[in-house]
Structure 1
Amino acid sequence: MKNIVLIGFMGVGKGSVAREMVKRSRLVSLDTDDIIESMENRKIKNIFAEESEEYFRELERKVARWLQKKVEGTLISTGGGFFKVPNLKKIGTVVLLNAPFEVIYNRILEHPDSGKKLRKRPLFQDIERARALYEERLPLYLKVADIVIDVSDKELVTIAREILKKVKK
């Protein structure tokens, strides 16, 4: 079985959807940000602060090469910019989780631990910059996606079932 690669803007719910999909299938899940944090033994926000965004993007490319060569039959949730790795389509079926920017932002703000959720995302520190980044990335996400799932106003179980159904076709 091919890998399933979840992409989408930061905060859209890739990790939550992945956890729900694991409950409803025999899939094993990996998260590219978790892999990078393990490799570097530090948090993403610290990598951005202590190194640079370009350094972080090189780590993503390194993880992408490893995933392509060594991982199969796995659900892979990714960071918001991971879609730019050159071998993305070779890793697996690319599923875009999408919602309007306001839906994503409001979902983060309404989360019981919203302060932590915002601090965890370095590129979300300036809301207007984040909105511009979303608008810049959306057409690029759509271009690389094999499957697009609108996650607005849907329960996790509904999203998980929809992905699993579309991937099996």
Structure 2
Amino acid sequence: MKKNIILIGFMGVGKGTTARAYAKMYGVFNIDTDDLIESKENQKVKEIFNEYGEKYFRSLEQDCADWIEESVDDSFISCGGGFYKVENLKKLGKVVLLDASYEWIYNRLSTAENSKAKLKKRPLFSEPKKAKKLYKERAKAYKKLADFVINVEDKDIESIIADINKKLYI
């Protein structure tokens, strides 16, 4: 079994922030699936979606998952919001859902210091009804795939990491 920790959850929940902090704290490698895809394609996720569509992007996510399964171990991996759809997710490592309400996520993004950049990176939030609908569609799937769930609402990064470690090393 792979020793990777795979963070899934809705966009903006804090997967990348958590992974970077965990990696720094424990000296492990942190990989972000969207960053890997952007590097491979030499384009931003938003540009890939606009130019080639969602189906193509999902195929890139599957390629990324296949590479992780083949080549990566003992790493902390933050995944894009739709990465949970890859067919081999459970083979990549322990799947951890960072969970929060839609309202909390939206508020986190819109009140952050760099809120314009955070919201611009996630254009779906410019259409809150669509974003909330997508959140509701994904919530059950996330929970079904997760080995365990960490509620991140109103917690600092140290508490979130402590909660992850409690679940991992029980």
Q: TM-score, normalised by structure 1?
A: 0.97
Matched residue, 2:134: 133
Alpha-carbon distance between aligned partners in 2 of 1:138 and 1:98, rounded to the nearest angstrom: 9
What is the letter of the counterpart of residue 164 of structure 1?
N
| Aligned-residue identity in percent | 52
Matched residue, 2:3: 2
Matched residue, 1:58: 59
Matched residue, 2:68: 67
What is the letter of the counterpart of residue 18 of structure 1?
A
Farther-moved stretch of structure 1 (109-118 vs 144-153): 109-118
What is the letter of the counterpart of residue 4 of structure 2?
N
Q: TM-score, normalised by structure 2?
A: 0.96
Name the Cα RMSD after superposition: 1.0
**What is the correspondence of 1:114-133 to structure 2 with a 5 Å cutoff?**
114-133=115-134
Alpha-carbon distance between aligned partners in 2 of 1:31 and 1:98, rounded to the nearest angstrom: 18
Q: Is residue 21–residue 161 contact of structure 1 (8 Å, CA) maintained in 2? A: no
What stretches of structure 1 move > 2 A for 4+ residues in a row?
Answer: 122-125
Gaps of 5+ in 2: none
Aligned-pair CA distance for 1:166: 1.4
Alpha-carbon distance between aligned partners in 2 of 1:113 and 1:26, rounded to the nearest angstrom: 27
Aligned-pair CA distance for 1:22: 1.3
Number of equivalent positions: 169
Matched residue, 1:25: 26
Matched residue, 2:92: 91
SS at match of 2:58: helix
